[in-house]
Chain A
């Protein structure tokens, strides 16, 4: 399977615990995005990387959240001191941005299956 993969698929934790999720993007995709989706809502942007550089972070990403993409390949999203409000589906997407500074290919983002987090 050459799509975006995410692990674990489900995570149940107690409030106050730390959790870490992993995303493996489509091979050679240089952009990687994290989104959060709560029940009945559309995905909300959290942060994204181009290669190993984190280019933008949403205000939704409190200081308890941190994301990394070492070596520009897989990415991890860590939530420290989880709260019940963190319960959601965490989605990863990847895309390939190519071109010069004046022209880029379409930003077609391909999503993984998500990690469903439940904080008790």
Chain B
């Protein structure tokens, strides 16, 4: 119940493509869902986050879609760039608690 399942494990797109990363959870106590971006040798950086009272949140080229009934959420990266090549982690938490991370998706964007 504490797991967050993330897919795919890796993703390769061309510049301008729209990679989509999916996550699913079981614990209905989770009510805060952030996405983190991590470059090699660096700590994760908060990208965008959503709460279950909204179905979509957009910040720049990054959009989270949230389906509360299906307990699924996804990250869309519009007009992807080579600089977006990184590992992306979804996470979930019951609001003020520790983060439970997915296993990560390695994204490569080719020019």
Q: Which residue of B lies closest to A91 (CB)?
A: B43
* B42–A91 CB distance below 8 A: no
Number of interface residues of A (CB under 8 A): 26
Give which listed residue, A6, A40, A110, contacts B104 with CB less than 8 A. A40
Q: Please report A residues at the B interface, Cβ cutoff 8 Å.
A: 4, 6, 33, 35, 40-45, 48, 56, 91, 93, 97, 104, 106-114, 116
Chain A residues with CB under 8 Å of B99's CB are 33, 35, 43, 45, 93, 109
Report how far A33 CA is from B44 CA in the complex, Å: 13
* B34–A108 CB distance below 8 A: yes
* B95–A108 CB distance below 8 A: no
Chain A residues with CB under 8 Å of B44's CB are 43, 91, 111
Chain B 28-58, CB-CB to A under 8 Å as 1, else 0, gives 0000101010000111111001010000000
Report how far A39 CA is from B49 CA in the complex, Å: 24
Number of A-B contacts (CB under 8 A): 61
Chain B residues with CB under 8 Å of A112's CB are 43
The size bracket of the interface on B is 20 to 34
Q: B residues 97-111 with Cβ under 8 Å of A?
A: 97-104
- Given the interface contacts A107-B32, A107-B93, A108-B49, does A113 sit within 8 Å of B104 by beta carbon? no
Report how far A108 CA is from B97 CA in the complex, Å: 10
Chain B residues with CB under 8 Å of A114's CB are 42-43
Q: Which residue of A lies closest to B43 (CB)?
A: A111
- Given the interface contacts A41-B103, A42-B101, A43-B101, does A108 sit within 8 Å of B96 by beta carbon? no
Q: Which residue of A lies closest to B102 (CB)?
A: A42
Chain B residues with CB under 8 Å of A35's CB are 99
Query: Within 8 Å of chain A (Cβ to Cβ): is B25?
Result: no
Q: Which of A91, A111, A116 is packed against the most chain B CB atoms within 10 Å?
A: A111
Query: Within 8 Å of chain A (Cβ to Cβ): is B73?
Result: no
* B96–A44 CB distance below 8 A: no
Query: Within 8 Å of chain A (Cβ to Cβ): is B66?
Result: no
